[in-house]
Each structure stands twice: as C-alpha cells, then as structure tokens.
C-alpha cells in the first residue's frame, strides 16, 4: 500500500481538493438564493433545508484540475466533460423541480452515448470474466455499455441515503481502481483518478457527520450522484477494456459491491412486486442498518470497510490465480444470498441487530408484531 501511495499524483489531488472546497464554500449562499436546497419531507430525515451544490462543485473542481494537469486535451476529456455536463444539467433541474424519472434516464442514456461516441469509452470484451481469451460483444457493445452506465449511475444515486455514504463508497472504489491500474502498469489512469479523489474528499469534509457536526452541512444532490456514477463507469471501463494494461472485468464488480448488489436486489424485488424499479422505499441496505440500530457514521464505516475487504479479497484471489469464473460466480452467489436474506424484513433486521450489538452499539429490542 505504501508503494501505491508514493506513485500517485498527489499534486493534482490536492489542487482538486482545494478548488472544490473553495467552490463548495462559495456556492452555499448561492444555493439558498436559487433554492438549490433539499427540504426535509417524506422519507428524508434531515431537519433543515440543506444546499445540494456538492455535485456542481465537484464537477467544477475536476474539470478545472483536468485542464491544469492533463497535458493534452483530447477526445477522451471532451467526452467526459460532455457526459458530465448533461448529467449536471438534468441533476440540477431535478433538484429544483423534481423531474420525472423517464427524463432522468433519457439524460443518462444520452450521457452514456457521449461517453461511447465522443470519449471512445465502451465495453467490448467480456471474455476474461468468464475464462475466455476473447468474447467480443460486437453490435451489443454500445447497448451493453449504455445499460451498464445507466445502472451504475442509478446504483450510486440509490445508495446516497446516509450522510457521507455515497461519496465514501466511490472514494474507496477509486482508491482500489487506482491500485489496480498501477498494478497493471497504467499509471496515467491512476493519476486521473487522483483528481476525482481529491474533489470527493473536499465534498466529504462537508458531507460526513463529524464529532463537532451532527449532520451534513450540504448534499451532493442528484447531479452529484449521477456524476459519481459516471466516474465509476468511465474508469472501470477504461481500466478493464485496455488490452495494453488489462484488468479483468470481474474485479470491477468487487470494487463497488454495495451499490451494485443493493440496487440489483431492490430493483428486482420491486419489479417482482409489480412496481416501478424506481419506486422509492426504505428497503436499501443503509435503511435496514439504520432501522436495526446502527448509527449514521457506523453505517458508512461498516459498508466502506466491507467494500475495501471485498476488493482486497478479489485482488488477492486473482493474484493467487483463482479462476475468474469462480470470482464471478461468488459475486452472483453473494447477491443471491442478500436477496434471500432480505426476503423477510424481520429476518434481516434480526441479523443486523446482532451485528450492531457486536460492534458495541446499544440496540433497543425489536417491537412485537402489531405493536
């Protein structure tokens, strides 16, 4: 780990961190004037209207840092910028006017197509994931890339339900992706990810619950969660579809286990109940953990540690030459186990209450049925 840290471009990360922090600070009064606020209502548990300018500030920090530290601005940067702007615009409009989900998905598809046709980032090979040297998607490459990108964007959006959770999970994923890039000899992508990590770190300074601050002082908004989903898709595809510095696609799944697994299970359960896959509820993993007695900061800590352990285990297994189809099967089985465990809410809450007690958390006894 120390060797990895010494090879990363900390100058770009610190620049993005400082610029994003400054932008966040400057945007706070502007958010209140423009009503870019998340008001407490419905399923939301914050007590006061909170600015949702985190996504806007992160995009500004990343783009300006990219212009400063990227030597040559090519189609890749233009494609990334174009896709990010589309998501930023629809995200801000959604934060202001609560846009219908169909329009959000249409914008996400448009951003994915910009990523493919302008940025030249797409998924073309899935062979290594199933143990084959080559399995080209051919004509299915673009539809698969769009589907995967939209899925990741919504996965990050759905996990953004606890202060600091989405940003921390994405930051941890980028750290592991950067480590994988360096291990594969692709230092350039690792340096680009450092810019994102710096911007996200600045946002987390405002979004995490801290001993001297009981609640987040600002949120990333739908613009921020969509942007971070794009970031994960962009770098995961760049990293796993590079024949010069190959990283197996299976590894990408194990670096974002919580958002992907949780979204797959929740959406499948909604569809099976004949509801819209975008129907809002409180069945996500962070909702269940909070209901079981975990504190907000505990939820973030436990899920980030779980993600890091998953990534470390998958990376170690690959270095030990464990067959890639076995790792893919293990991921599918993990998702299936979570689906079966959450089939009965009482059962999963019982398990989580026991875990909360093991962590030292004082948990109130469960209410009897009908109470």
Task: Please give the pLDDT value at position 43.
Answer: 54
Task: Please give the pLDDT value at position 111.
Answer: 98
Task: Please give the pLDDT value at position 62.
Answer: 96
pLDDT in tens, 137-191: 889 999 999 999 999 999 999 999 999 999 999 999 999 999 999 888 888 899 8
Task: Please give the pLDDT value at position 98.
Answer: 87
331 is a domain residue: yes
Q: Give yes or no for a contact between 149 and 138, defined as CB atoms under 8 angstroms apart.
A: no
Task: Please give the pLDDT value at position 4.
Answer: 55
363 is a domain residue: no
* Phi and psi, residue 51, nearest 5°: -60, 145
364 is a domain residue: no
79 is a domain residue: yes
371 is a domain residue: no
Q: Give yes or no for a contact between 233 and 149, defined as CB atoms under 8 angstroms apart.
A: yes
368 is a domain residue: no
250 is a domain residue: yes
38 is a domain residue: yes
Instruction: Using 70 as the pLDDT threshold, list the residues of the chain that sit under it.
Output: 1-9, 41-47, 130-134, 245, 360-371
Domain that includes residue 273, residue range:
2-358
pTM of the predicted model as reported, rounded to 2 decimal places: 0.93
Number of structural domains found in the chain: 1
Task: Please give the pLDDT value at position 368.
Answer: 44
Task: Please give the pLDDT value at position 243.
Answer: 75
């Amino acid at each position: 780990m120390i060797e990895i840290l010494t090879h990363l471009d900390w100058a770009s990360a610190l620049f993005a961190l400082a610029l994003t922090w400054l932008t966040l600070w400057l945007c706070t009064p502007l958010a209140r004037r423009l009503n870019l606020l998340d008001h407490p209502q419905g399923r939301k548990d914050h007590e006061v209207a909170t600015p949702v300018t985190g996504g806007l500030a992160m995009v500004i920090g990343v783009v300006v840092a990219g212009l400063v530290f990227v030597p040559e601005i090519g189609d890749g940067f233009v494609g990334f910028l174009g896709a990010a702007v589309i998501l930023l615009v629809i995200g801000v409009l959604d934060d202001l006017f609560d846009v219908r989900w169909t329009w959000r998905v249409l914008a996400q598809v448009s951003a994915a197509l910009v990523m493919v046709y302008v940025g030249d980032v797409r998924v073309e090979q899935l062979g290594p994931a199933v143990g084959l040297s080559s399995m080209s998607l051919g004509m299915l490459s673009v539809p698969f890339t769009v589907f995967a990108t939209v899925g990741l964007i919504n996965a990050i959006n759905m996990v953004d339900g606890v202060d600091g959770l989405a940003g921390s999970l994405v930051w941890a994923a980028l750290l592991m992706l950067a480590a994988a890039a360096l291990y594969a000899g692709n230092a350039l992508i690792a340096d680009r990810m450092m810019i994102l990590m710096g911007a996200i770190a600045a946002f987390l300074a405002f979004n995490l619950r801290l001993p001297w601050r009981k609640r987040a002082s600002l949120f990333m908004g739908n613009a921020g969660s969509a942007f971070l989903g794009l970031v994960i898709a962009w770098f995961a595809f760049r990293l796993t579809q590079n024949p010069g510095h190959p990283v197996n696609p299976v590894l990408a799944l194990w670096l974002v286990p919580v958002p992907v697994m949780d979204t797959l299970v929740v959406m499948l359960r909604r569809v099976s109940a004949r509801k819209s896959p975008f129907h809002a509820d409180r069945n996500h993993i962070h909702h269940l953990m909070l209901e079981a007695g975990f504190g907000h900061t505990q939820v973030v800590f436990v899920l980030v540690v779980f993600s890091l352990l998953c990534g470390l285990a998958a990376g170690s297994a690959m270095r030990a030459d464990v067959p890639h189809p076995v790792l893919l099967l293990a991921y599918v089985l993990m998702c299936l186990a979570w689906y079966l465990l959450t089939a009965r809410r009482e059962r999963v809450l019982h398990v989580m209450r026991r875990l909360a007690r093991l962590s030292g958390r004082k948990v109130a006894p469960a209410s009897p049925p009908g109470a």
